Every structure is written in C-alpha cells, then in structure tokens.
C-alpha cells in the first residue's frame, strides 16, 4: 500500500493576501491576532507574501468567519515601544556594508528578523542588539579625514607596522601605504583608530564579496556594469593610475585600460567597488 505524500501548502502571494483581507474586511492586526502571531509579521506578508509554512494557517483563519468576527470584537493590543526606529536601523545596516545573513549571524538572529526590523524597527525585546549595533558601527560616524602625517604618527605611537595593520584591517599593503601618503578616508577613521588602540573586537573593512576581482567566485551576484567614464573617475578618486590599479583589482593593466574605454563587466563590478572603496 502506497503511503500518501504530504503536500506542502503553497505560498500566498502578497497581492492575494491583501485581496483576502479586503474581501473579509479584516486588518493585518486582526489576522495576526486570529493566528496568534505578531502584527508586524502579517504586515510584512502583505508586501512579500506568506511563506508556505504559514499559508495553511492563514487560509484556515481567513475562511473561519466566526473566528474573525470574534477577533474584531476584541480590542487590539497597542505595540510596545521600539528600541530603535526603522530609519535608524536601516541606516546602520547600510553603513555596515554587510548582508542580512552576515548581520543575523553576528547578532544570533535570523536574516528575516533583520529584514523585519528594517521595515518596522527594533522592538524593545531587541534593545541589547540595537545598542550592540550602535557601538559596533559607531566608528562609521567619523568626523573628518585623518591626514597622512597624522596616520603615520598614530601607527608609530601604536608600534604597528604596515603589514600588521594590513592583517588587522584585512586590506592590502597598498591601501595602508596609500593612506600613509594621502590620508585615511573619513568613513574609515573610527575603525582605524579602534585598531590602533588595540581593540580586539573592532571589525575589519567590510567586504560584500571578498576575493580578487579577476577571479570572481562561482556564486558571485551579477550587478550593473560600471561605465568606463565612472570607472576612470573611481581610479582618479583612489589616486591610482592604470598600472597601480591592475594588481589591486587582480587584472592586467591592459584590462584596466579596456574597462576605462568600455565598461567593467557586471559580474565584476561589485568586487571592483569593494576593492577601491577603502582608497576613496
């Protein structure tokens, strides 16, 4: 006798959920109470759709008129205070240069939770995480650029060699050498100062892709190409000529020259921006 296969409920598209709510005259908050979940989760579903693991529960609740009517007669519960508003949290996420998966791993929460906090803010239960994020990324609020001579003196006072600081920051030797000559960009000053103080918890320069530009990883995300004129300006802002840029980008000088005349291919554009970002 064959064992029947259990069919996993399909997801509910966002447009269909909105239509269902309108048809029965229920709000996202009322549906949330009907299925015993958070209102912000249902609100997110109205934008991104209902995951398959919740689709069956939602459909059952939406077809139970008595259940929805009972919820409508029950006064709603006002949401608690936020530990961090969504705009502030989204700004910190953007400044971190990290993916939602990376941030989730860092703070021991699911990436979907990071997405929800970007949309709705960090609830009071996540207060410790929001404070940790403020502290961890405070170095990104640098007031001004650190001059080359000041950077050299700071390294000397800390007793750090170029190679040692390169390892701590996870940047190339050329980057630190360039900073010693032209100064540290304002957005990296606080981070560099933290490493000069010997802060073991200070993060490295954020990288979205890592690796050399010339050898993109197999799962590299294809982005928009960088037009030649924009690429040439990026090199100028970084203080690089085509010969200097080649080793940093992991390609030949001929390739760099070709990119300035045409464009940087889409599968390499993100890595190019990451490699040049510490220099601008």
Helix (H, G, I), strand (E, B) or coil at 247: helix
Angle at 33 between CA 28 and CA 35, to 5 degrees: 95
Reading the block at residue 251, the tokens are 């390609």
Reading the block at residue 180, the tokens are 């010693």
At residue 22, the pLDDT reads 79
First and final C-alpha spacing in the chain: 69
More confident residue, 196 or 76: 196
Q: How far apart are CA 275 and CA 171, in angstroms?
A: 9
Number of other CB atoms surrounding residue 105 within 10 Å = 13
Contact in structure between 157 and 114 (CB atoms under 8 Å): no
Which residues have C-beta within 8 Å of that of residue 138, sequence separation ≥ 6?
190
Give the range among 20-34, 116-130, 176-190, 213-227 with minimum mean pLDDT: 213-227
At residue 213, the pLDDT reads 41
CATH of segment(s) 226-279: 1.10.260.40
Mode of pairing for the β-strands spanning 122-123 and 82-84: antiparallel
> Does pLDDT of 215 surpass 60?
no
Query: 9 in the Ramachandran plot: left (φ > 0), alpha (ψ -120 to 50) or beta?
Result: beta
Q: Is 121 exposed, middle or buried (0-12, 13-18, 19+ CB in 10 A)?
A: buried
Q: How far apart are CA 263 and CA 273, in angstroms?
A: 13
Q: Sketch the domain layout of the chain as residue ranges.
A: 14-72, 82-136, 148-196, 226-279
Give the range among 22-36, 116-130, 164-178, 244-258 with minimum mean pLDDT: 116-130
pLDDT tens digits for range 31-71: 888 887 777 778 778 878 888 888 888 888 888 877 777 76
Contact in structure between 265 and 231 (CB atoms under 8 Å): no
Distance of CA 272 to the CA centre of its chain: 18
More confident residue, 229 or 138: 229
Q: What is the mean pLDDT of the chain?
A: 76
pLDDT tens digits for range 6-16: 444 578 888 88
Q: Is 27 exposed, middle or buried (0-12, 13-18, 19+ CB in 10 A)?
A: middle
């Amino acid at each position: 006798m064959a064992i029947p296969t259990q069919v996993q409920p399909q997801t509910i598209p966002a447009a269909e959920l909105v239509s269902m709510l309108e048809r029965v005259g229920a709000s996202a908050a009322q549906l949330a109470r009907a299925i015993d979940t958070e209102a912000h989760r249902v609100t997110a579903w109205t934008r991104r759709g209902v995951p398959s693991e919740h689709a069956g529960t939602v459909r059952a609740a939406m077809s139970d008129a008595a259940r929805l009517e009972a919820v409508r007669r029950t006064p709603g519960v006002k949401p608690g205070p936020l530990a961090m508003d969504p705009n502030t949290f989204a700004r910190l996420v953007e400044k971190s240069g990290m993916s939602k998966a990376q941030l989730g791993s860092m703070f021991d929460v699911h990436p979907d939770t990071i997405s929800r906090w970007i949309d709705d803010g960090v609830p009071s239960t996540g207060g410790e995480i929001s404070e940790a994020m403020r502290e961890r990324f405070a170095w990104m609020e640098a007031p001004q650029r650190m001059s080359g001579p000041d950077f050299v003196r700071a390294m000397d006072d800390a007793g750090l060699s170029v190679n040692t600081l390169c390892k701590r920051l996870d940047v190339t030797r050329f980057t630190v050498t360039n900073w010693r000559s032209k100064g540290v960009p304002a957005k990296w000053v606080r981070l560099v100062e933290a490493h000069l103080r010997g802060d073991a918890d200070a993060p490295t320069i954020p990288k979205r892709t890592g690796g050399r530009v010339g050898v993109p990883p197999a799962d590299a995300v294809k982005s928009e190409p960088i037009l030649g004129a924009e690429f040439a300006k990026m090199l100028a802002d970084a203080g690089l000529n085509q010969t200097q840029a080649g080793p940093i980008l992991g390609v030949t000088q001929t390739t760099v020259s070709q990119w300035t005349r045409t464009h940087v291919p889409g599968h390499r554009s993100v890595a190019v921006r990451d490699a040049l970002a510490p220099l601008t």
